[in-house]
Structure 1
Amino acid sequence: MGLFSRKKRNRAETGDELDPRDERTPEQGEEELPGQGEDLAPQEPEEDRDEERAGGEPSPRGEHLEDGPFDEAEAPDEERIDLGGLQVPTIDGMELRMEVDQRSSAVTGANLVLGGSSLQVQAFAAPKSRGLWEDVRRSLRDSVVTQGGTAETRSGAFGTELITRLPVKRADGRTGYRPARFIGIDGRRWFLRAILTGKALGDSEQSRRFETLLSRLVVVRGTGAMAPQELIPLHLPGEHPGLDQIRSGPLDPLARGPEITEVG
């Protein structure tokens, strides 16, 4: 079985190829996250309510999820796009965008774009003894708050998640906020981080679609020695029917996502 053990469910996503004609970028909409209301002033983060640390039982996995993300050795047979450290299932209508550092030409991440939203994924090496998500989540939260944004934890499809809103200056000089949903998953000697931005933040159906996709990813850790939090190497995909390869700039997770309601 995969990282999470349960009876395998039917997939909520199907499709054999990506659409090479869809070259649209995620729409820069103005959806707010549920429950945020109209108070846009930066606030202090809530205390980290980690269910596992608090001794509570993890929330049951949704019916729309597969058993993953999977370790390479336990992944079920399925057609996937090989990105080196990650393998991504082919989804009808999905656009794959690779993050490439322009200075080193190193591939640093992948963006899976569907219906005006984007799921940015990266895999990192992790120690055998413990996971990384708790520490990474705290660091991310502190960074957002230091920049004048808001960050709070909540229970999500894969455990404790981080919901952030980072302030940005608009072209007209006023301040807007970019929302993002950070998901972290600790695997076997690897850690997978996903950042959801766009329309799916305010649309439960689209959100579930990305959660299903995330639960079908495969992490290829390899057997070589790697330092904790070291990025597992990625590469551009080889030729694949229907795949449109797009190079973009260096990864900057906290600066991504659509602007929402302006203030000031």
Structure 2
Amino acid sequence: MAFGFGKKKNKATDADQAPEAVAAPTDAGAAGAAGVLRLPPGPADEAYDRALHGPLDESEITSTEGYVDLGALLVTPREGLSLRLEVEENTSRVIAVTLDLNGSSLQLQAFAASRSEKLWRDIREQIGLSVGSQGGEIEILDGTFGKEVLAKVPAQGNDGSKGFRVARFIGIDGPRWFLRGVLGGEAAMKPEAAGELEDLFRGVVVVRGETPLPPRDLLLLRLPKDAVAGPQPGAAQTLPGQGVPPQGGEQLRRGPEITAIG
């Protein structure tokens, strides 16, 4: 299982929400004749039983053995899985983790929440406003985890052709926390390509801790203890719009790679 660092550039808006992995031409077959991407019908927010299907709270597991410990998040290792930590440039704080598998990605961020208020409905609306402000569009869908947001943002390919970026946002309200996932690549557009990353999302354990935090504050992430830094790559590559907290955020920048040990 590989690990990597990323850096986060300051003062981008949370309109930059569509991940790098989802560029596609506007006339791509995946969009259909009408250019609208749709996921198969699924349960509404109220119908999805988080405690039964995951993600889970730390109090709902009996042991942390076998997980990759990232502080606020525990994730299950899997063959072929690459794990990249995104770091805020001016504070060196880890603010997101991105799981790369089979050409698709799942970015994870966990936030504090109150015992009574659910955040996902408001955050869906914020995503819609952000995407709309840069000429994109969203659909609110009934998906695997209840209500989801499918966002399309205009983009230009490396060859100069016009297209769009696609991101599939999923959110789960837990006990005093909120977990957001952003699927990119084929997993954002093809349900059959999303299965393994959806399983990883179900298997995430959130460690909220007892420290009082205002709602929407990021829960602290950290580098796994058994990971060591590897060689520095060349110039960092900007990743458009991964890692934006519900209250706003900045673009991320890929940094040095590190490799897991143990």
TM-score by length of 1: 0.71
SS of equivalent residue, structure 1 residue 120:
strand
CA RMSD of aligned residues (A): 3.6
**Contact conserved, 1:111 with 1:121, CA < 8 A, in 2?**
yes
Instruction: Spell out, residue by residue over 1:112-153, the C-alpha distance to the aligned partner (whole angstroms, 9 max, x if none).
Output: 000000000000001111210000011101111121101011
Q: Which has the higher strand share?
A: 2
One-letter identity of the residue aligned with 1:137 = R
One-letter identity of the residue aligned with 1:37 = G
One-letter identity of the residue aligned with 1:75 = I
SS of equivalent residue, structure 2 residue 215:
coil
One-letter identity of the residue aligned with 1:176 = G
Distance in 2 separating the partners of 1:245 and 1:233: 26
Aligned ranges 1:236-255 → 2 under 5 Å: 236-239=223-226, 252-253=241-242
Question: Is 2:24 the partner of 1:30?
Answer: yes
Partner of 2:162: 175
Displaced runs of 4+ in structure 1, greater than 6 A? 26-29, 31-35, 243-251
Question: Is 2:198 the partner of 1:211?
Answer: yes
Aligned ranges 1:54-73 → 2 under 5 Å: 58=47, 67-73=53-59
Distance in 2 separating the partners of 1:229 and 1:29: 29
Partner of 1:159: 146
**Unaligned segments of structure 2, at least 5 residues:** 4-19, 37-42, 245-250, 253-262
**Unaligned segments of structure 1, at least 5 residues:** 1-17, 21-25, 42-49, 257-264
The change in CA–CA distance for 1:29 and 1:116 in structure 2 (over 3 A counts) is farther
The change in CA–CA distance for 1:181 and 1:29 in structure 2 (over 3 A counts) is same
Instruction: Spell out, residue by residue over 1:27-52, the C-alpha distance to the aligned partner (whole angstroms, 9 max, x if none).
Output: 666388997424459xxxxxxxx945
> Cα distance, 1:99 vs. partner?
0.4
Partner of 1:186: 173
Aligned ranges 1:58-137 → 2 under 5 Å: 58=47, 67-77=53-63, 78-137=65-124
Distance in 2 separating the partners of 1:97 and 1:145: 28
**Contact conserved, 1:120 with 1:196, CA < 8 A, in 2?**
yes
Distance in 2 separating the partners of 1:245 and 1:181: 32
> Cα distance, 1:106 vs. partner?
0.8
Distance in 2 separating the partners of 1:245 and 1:211: 31
Question: Is 2:136 the partner of 1:146?
Answer: no
Instruction: Spell out, residue by residue over 1:210-253, the C-alpha distance to the aligned partner (whole angstroms, 9 max, x if none).
Output: 11110000101111110111000111111159x98999878933
